[in-house]
Amino acid sequence: MTYSSLQKTVAVLVAAAAVAACHKSAPMAGPTPAGAPMATAAVKGANALPAGVTVAMVAMGDSIFHARSCARCHGPNAKGAQGGPDLTTSTHLHVNGSYEDFVRIITTGVPHDSVKIATHRGMPARGGGPVQLTDPQIQAVAAYVYTLSHK
Ligand code: HEC
């Protein structure tokens, strides 16, 4: 390896490490910053959040839901649209209603051959798209969706 190609390799590695570090430190679903005034009352169901779920996660999940593909299929108010079912009802098609099960279904998605309503085409794993949701992002959006049917 010539000196300059070694330099190039090192530069690429450093860039990759920087990207990885950035990715890790993304402020997704992190714990509530100490002393930050959280509007607890603004989040419905905040009094009954499952273990491990914070109000900050629900707020983060709200923005992920609307910024990502979810709102496109489930509707901007999550009350259902052509591509996906209403997520605000107390009865569910795939999940048992527990927070863990919301995490599970958003992680795996729903393959086309498993949909319960024939007009639906399925749900992509991890939100789909070129940049899939990370585990903390999935936990946040699951927390948000959980609150929609646990008011
Ligand atoms: C391409 C459309 C599409 C996208 C994008 C999508 N979903 Fe879905 N989702 C579906 C379909 C279809 C089902 C299953 C409905 C059926 O069985 O008929 C489903 C099911 C679900 C369920 C289970 C509902 C139940 O009653 O058990 C949850 C929760 C859910 N989606 C949340 C999300 C979240 C959160 C996102 C964004 C990360 C998302 N979905 C993105 C189409 C979509």
pLDDT digits (tens, 9 = 90+) for 91-135: 999 999 999 999 999 999 999 999 999 999 999 999 998 999 999
| Contact present, 147 and 53 (Cβ < 8 Å) | no
Cα 67 to ligand 1 centroid, rounded to whole Å: 15
Q: Please identify, by atom number, the ligand 1 atom nearest to the C-alpha of residue 144.
A: 35
Q: Which of 83, 31, 66 is closest to 148 using CA atoms?
A: 66
Where residue 39 falls among pLDDT bands split at 50, 70, 90? very low
Counting Cβ atoms within 10 Å, is residue 142 exposed (0-12), middle (13-18) or buried (19+)? buried
| Pairwise pLDDT comparison (113 vs 29), residue with the higher score | 113
For ligand 1, atom 23, name the residue with the nearest CA: 94
109 lines ligand 1 (CB under 6 A): no
| Mean pLDDT within 67-78 | 96
Give dist(CA 4, CA 132) in Å, integer: 35
Cα 93 to ligand 1 centroid, rounded to whole Å: 10
Q: Please identify, by atom number, the ligand 1 atom nearest to the C-alpha of residue 127.
A: 38
Cα 74 to ligand 1 centroid, rounded to whole Å: 7
Q: Which of 16-25, 41-50, 135-144 has the largest mean confidence?
A: 135-144
Q: Please identify, by atom number, the ligand 1 atom nearest to the C-alpha of residue 91.
A: 26
Give dist(CA 66, CA 64) in Å, integer: 5
Q: Which of 64, 74, 60 is closest to 123 using CA atoms?
A: 74
